[in-house]
Structure 1
Amino acid sequence: MKREGFKGFTLLTIGQIVSLIGSAMTQFGLGIWIWKITGNAAPFSIITFAFFVPNMIFSTIAGALVDRLPRKISLILPDLSAGIVTIITLILFVSDKLTLPFLYIASFISGAFNAFQWPAYSVTISSMLSKEEYGRANGLFSLTSSAPALIAPLLAGFLYSVIGLKGIMLIDIITFIFAIVMVLLVEIPKLQIEEKHESILEDAIFGFKYIFEKRSLLYLLMVFLLTNFFGGFWSTLSTPMILGKFNGSSVILGIVEAIFGIGGILGGIIMSIWGGTKKKIKTLLLGIFVIALSQIFIGLSYSVITISVSGLLMGIANIFANASSQSIWQSIVPVNLQGRVFSARLFIAQFASLIPMLVSGPLVDNFLVRYFSNKNYLTMIFGVGKGPSIGFLAFLSGVLSIFVFIWAVKNPQVMNVEDLAQNYETKEVLI
């Protein structure tokens, strides 16, 4: 008997968590392999970039295809492609033919197919569940990012010394098969909507047009774009910030990063049980406010306890904000349009995050460091060195995010976005 409703979605989420833990373990093992054969940091940057760019570019096309393809095909594609890449990687590794160029190509392919995952699961939530369950479902699904980030390094670090990279990749292959089985065991309602699709390109553009025509959704997106943009300047450099503040202590870095990850897991569990306030925008803005305050304390503090607690709260609040935002979008955008619209939304968000990702390092190394090398008003507050200069960026991000929060609270389009949902739905019917 196939599972449906929230129980069915729980099975899908468990399958994804297990599969992503397997993938993260393989990445961990490959990272050790790359470091052993090269001793360079550049390959890691290239692999990350090779994954991120196609994921961003193909996200719009993926959304158009998600609205066309059967739901289960859209859900299975990312796991199937990742599994095939892992199988080929394992064969090359065993035959001693694995090379860096292959890993770059594999990362590109994985990034392209991974673009299906987020819009596919977003639409699946809307298809399987009632609007009242969106908050719980998005909270639960947030565990697919936070749980692997915490579990995979610990598990892979232990297993690597026992079964090696070959054994870890075998486990990864088993996990992607498990995820596909979970999809097959779940009943996903078929949409009884007849709609004439345009070309793939026109459908991809449609998502952007839809967002820009709905002013309240555009303003809601701006809240996230601005806070993520500001936060990206320091979060990209969180590791050197912690190391710089605490004399390069890997132990403190591990503790702080683990607690950050625990915050994401706790947030997901809380949201999966609670679901957020009835008016989701309140939970969303509460999350934004707590994130902003946490960044201010992280930037100012030299206390491991203060930074860890702030990171824990920020991890929880981040889930509150993201899950609530996703619930609002799912309640407003018609199910048959969500693939295209959500992919356009993801593209815009990723494009904005690309700027701080590329700029933050040179900004600290070539500009800020000169203001944090001698005693002055800034160093009296934040300290001396690159770590404190990144802390300054975290503090500044928090302050600017507070202003975004105030703007959002005072903006009727943002505060009444859920009340406008009925108007949008009515217009869609009239069209």
Structure 2
Amino acid sequence: MNIKTQLKNFYLLQCGQFVSQLGSKITSYGLILWTYDNSGSVLSIALLTICTLIPSILLSFLAGSISDKWDKKNIMIISDSIAAFFSLIVLILLITNSLKIEYIYIINFILGVVDAFQNPASEVAISLIISKENYIRVSGIRSLSNSCITIFYPILSTTIYAFAGLKLIIFIDLATFIFAVLTLIFLVKIPKRIYNTGDNTNILHQCKIGIKYIVNDKGILSLILFMAFVNLIASIYNCNLQPMILSRNGNNKFQLGIVTATIGIAGVIGSILVTIKKESKKKIPVILNIMMFSFSICNTLLGIGRNYYIWTIAVFLGNVLVPFLTANVEFIMRNKVPLEMQGVVFSARNTLQYISIPIGYLLGGVLADKVFEPNVYKISFLTNIVGSGKGAGIALIYIVIGIIGFLGCCIFKLNNDMRNLDN
């Protein structure tokens, strides 16, 4: 395919995925609001994400091997269809007044299984559609798409939830599924060539190949471990953001929507800059410096801030450069890893760098509910920094993880294997 055809095909795929992901995000956010309204617990919210992530991580190797062997489009269509089916189940439970938090945990677990197969299939599909010289450009476009979703889903979800409830949110989710699947079936052309590590290679052996490749490449392994560290800090951050804001602003969901949407606005601006700025020759320093800035500035302002104006500034500064991080990491991975091995290697990478996310969510929930919130008032000078009242303990968590994140980046700066990825 020539470049124009490649990009047209990619835009069609990305359009369908954008609509589908927007619907899924609106629903996920609506379920978080519903759960917090019915439990008032940070740990309950954290468990929603943990139930989704654990099967996705544990099945990542298997799913990556299958995505190398099977048709990518079929995997994506089947995955979307299963996700839509369980959205329909949630809707039926709502209509019959039978929905319980425990049921959402189970459904999220099943959706995590689906994600395990869909994600590597869509990643490899993009590598099949797009040539290497367009990787950075495509990464910028994907970051822009994800940032637009981040802008709109909290505002849409909180508005719809406040005025029409969770039922309408799920109806919208089902409509976006129909659009995405029809686009994928009739408009998107993914090359039929199946890349794998050998037609006679069993799935278990392919998993070992993915692990062996990463272990033998010390630079890639170091980069994955760094991203696992970033994900650990980011998951503690993410699971506490909504509870902290709602606790400190009198449960004002509109202000929460503004702050959350600002994350997306920052991502849009950053994504545009990625697509127009000249590509940096040295990518590892860019990756490390971005996270040092984000950890130190964003988390500190979130911790000491007492109103949504400060929180809005904090999340903007913390996220505006993140598209440069993801673009440079993706560029390194797509160029260093042979195309025929990307399915198994990316799945091994996902397991290693995402296993820290459920740990972070669980840790963030326990720290908030059991440690920081009950005890922050016992040390008087801390209340001078983070204030008092409900949510002050969570604010202190942000300051602590900001310091830990900054120091961790400093340690990774000393890693020669990681720096050598630029050579």
TM-score class normalised by the smaller sequence: 0.7 to 0.9
Q: Which amino acid aligns with 2:271?
A: G
Amino acid at match of 2:227: F
> 1:4 touches 1:186 (CA, 8 Å); kept in 2?
no
**Are residues 1:286 and 2:299 paired?**
no
Superposed CA offset, 1:125-166 (max 9, x none)? 322223332222223223554433432343355556888766
Structure 1 residues 176, 398: CA separation in 2 closer, same or farther (over 3 Å shift)?
same
CA contact (8 A) 1:82 1:110 kept: yes
Work out which of the residue numbers 316, 338, 342 in structure 2 matches 1:334.
338
Q: How far apart are the structure 1 equivalents of 2:246 and 2:374?
A: 19
Distance 1:164 1:239, change over 3 A: closer
Distance 1:20 1:387 in 2: 30
Mark the CA change 1:30 to 1:249 in structure 2 (over 3 Å): closer, same or farther. Answer: closer
Please give the TM-score of this superposition, normalised by the length of structure 2: 0.84
Three-state SS of the structure 1 residue aligned to 2:280 is coil
Query: Would you say the 8 A contact 1:236–1:357 is kept in 2?
Result: yes
Match of 1:429 in 2: none
Q: Bigger shift: 288-297 or 58-67?
A: 288-297
Q: Distance in 1 between matches of 2:278 and 2:62?
A: 31
Code of the aligned partner of 1:51: T
Greater Cα offset, 227-236 or 151-160 = 151-160
Aligned to 2:320, the other structure's residue is in SS state helix
- Verify: 1:372 aligned to 2:376, yes or no: yes
Aligned residue in 2 for 1:127? 128
Alignment of 1:6-17 (within 5 A): 6-17=7-18
1:46 & 1:216 partners in 2: Cα distance?
33
SS of 2:329's partner is: helix
Q: 2:203 corresponds to which residue?
A: 200
Give the match for residue 259 of structure 1. 262
Gaps of 5+ in 1: 420-431
Instruction: Give the aligned partner of residue 311 of structure 1.
Output: 315
Q: Hey, what's the Cα distance between the residues in 2 that align with 1:391 and 1:417?
A: 37
Unaligned residue ranges in structure 2 (runs of 5+): none
What secondary structure does 2:191 align onto?
A: coil
Give 1:423's aligned residue: none
Q: Which residue of 1 aligns with 2:224?
A: 221
Structure 2 residue corresponding to 1:189, chosen from 185, 188, 191: 191
Moved more, 168-177 or 63-72: 168-177
Q: CA deviation at 1:67?
A: 0.8
Cα 1:232–1:86, aligned 2, differ >3 Å: closer, same or farther? closer
1:186 Cα deviation (Å)? 2.7
2-structure distance, mates of 1:23, 1:311 = 22
Residues 301 and 23 of structure 1: is their aligned pair in 2 closer, same or farther, counting only changes over 3 Å?
closer
The answer on whether the counterparts of 2:46 and 2:361 sit within 8 Å (CA) in structure 1 is no
Contact 1:135 1:275 in 2 (8 A): no
CA apart distance, 1:299: 2.6
Alignment of 1:56-205 (within 5 A): 56-87=57-88, 89=90, 96=96, 99-100=99-100, 103-143=104-144, 145-156=146-157, 168-184=169-185, 185-191=187-193, 195-196=197-198, 197-205=200-208
User: 1:357, CA displacement in angstroms?
Assistant: 1.4
* Count of matched residue positions in the alignment of Structure 1 and Structure 2: 417
User: Bigger shift: 313-322 or 23-32?
Assistant: 23-32
In 1, distance between residues paired with 2:53 and 2:360?
A: 14
Identify if the C-alpha distance between structure 1 residues 110 and 198 changes in structure 2 by more than 3 Å, giving closer, same or farther: same
8 Å Cα contact 2:237-2:398 kept in structure 1: yes
> 1:171 Cα deviation (Å)?
3.7
Question: 1:304-360, CA deviations, whole angstroms, 9 ceiling, x for partnerless residues?
Answer: 434322211212222221232122111111111111111121112222122221122
Q: Distance in 1 between matches of 2:405 and 2:36?
A: 37
Residue 81 to residue 384, structure 1, CA distance change in 2 (3 Å): same
Which is worse superposed, 164-173 or 372-381?
164-173
> What is residue 359 of structure 1 aligned with on the other side?
363
